[in-house]
Structure 1
């Protein structure tokens, strides 16, 4: 674990986001396994919500699939995406949740998809997280053109 990964891990325990993730993972009867860079994979999560295959809370990556699936070389991009979310939690702490919610609403309003123009998903890597880069809705594209055209 690098120095920054250690700091991220400590911050996410101190800001309680990893603890909240752990409680949710245990409620979903997930099994825990150490991952790289201070991450913990909570595999085989069973609750019906959220619907995503993976969800990060602090340094805990909750996954509906077995840990070996997420930790495989084939899914290294997805694990990197989730690690970037862990870093976002270190910076924002519990404020990440309402900020992420607002970013999701904004993305849905301008594209019809909650991840495509969500700043947190874009910074974590849309493609690696399995999100499509959707075009802007007509009104949003028109508004963007108004602000980007040279005067």
Structure 2
């Protein structure tokens, strides 16, 4: 699969495997070229699972993640693997920029994060959140302003 090859070539899967091995997680094969590292025990990040390259690292067992009742979560994490395939190591700083934007806009790291939205917010355990009140007011005032024709246009004379 192209995603698996790209994450192998760009080194992100190697980083994911390294973290899995260094933290004592057991690596198992998953569907579609995904690897599942089960039994992650570190405190950071606090998520039940997270993805690095084509490696989904989970605190639970691989069976738990691969159970059909969690197919949405598996699909969410697999979309992140696709994002790693496209961006390679640039995924990390870009993801954190979007986390910062989301935090500034909503007070949550995921609600306005383009990566989480693309992967499916709810499938990943995230909830939609409204804009902070000040941003809501700014947005409403911008929407109510009537557009002005650019200077130099016939209706501006």
Which band: TM-score by shorter chain? over 0.9
1:142, distance to aligned residue in structure 2 (A): 2.0
Alignment of 1:47-126 (within 5 A): 47-126=42-121
Structure 1 pair 149/39, CA: closer, same or farther in 2 (3 Å)?
farther
Gap runs ≥5 in structure 2: 147-157
Q: How many Å apart are 1:150 and its aligned residue?
A: 6.6
Q: Give the deviation of 1:148 after TM superposition.
A: 4.0
SS at 2:36 equivalent: strand
Shift in alpha-carbon separation, 1:36–1:147, aligned structure 2, 3 A: farther
* Separation in 2, partners of 1:114, 1:141: 18
Q: Which residue of 2 aligns with 1:3?
A: none
- TM-score normalised per structure 2: 0.89
Alignment gaps of 5+ in structure 1:
1-5
Tell me the equivalent position of 1:34.
29
In structure 2, the residue matched to 1:134 is 129
Structure 2 Cα separation of the partners of residues 132 and 71 of structure 1: 22
Q: Counterpart in 1 of 2:149?
A: none
Provide Cα deviations, 1:20-40, integer angstroms capped at 9, x if missing partner. 011111111101111001000
TM-score, normalisation: structure 1 = 0.93
Cα displacement (A) at 1:147: 4.1
**Secondary structure in 2 aligned to 1:116?**
coil
Residues matched between the structures, number: 146
The structure-2 alpha-carbon separation of the partners of 1:93 and 1:146, relative to structure 1 and needing over 3 Å to count, comes to: farther
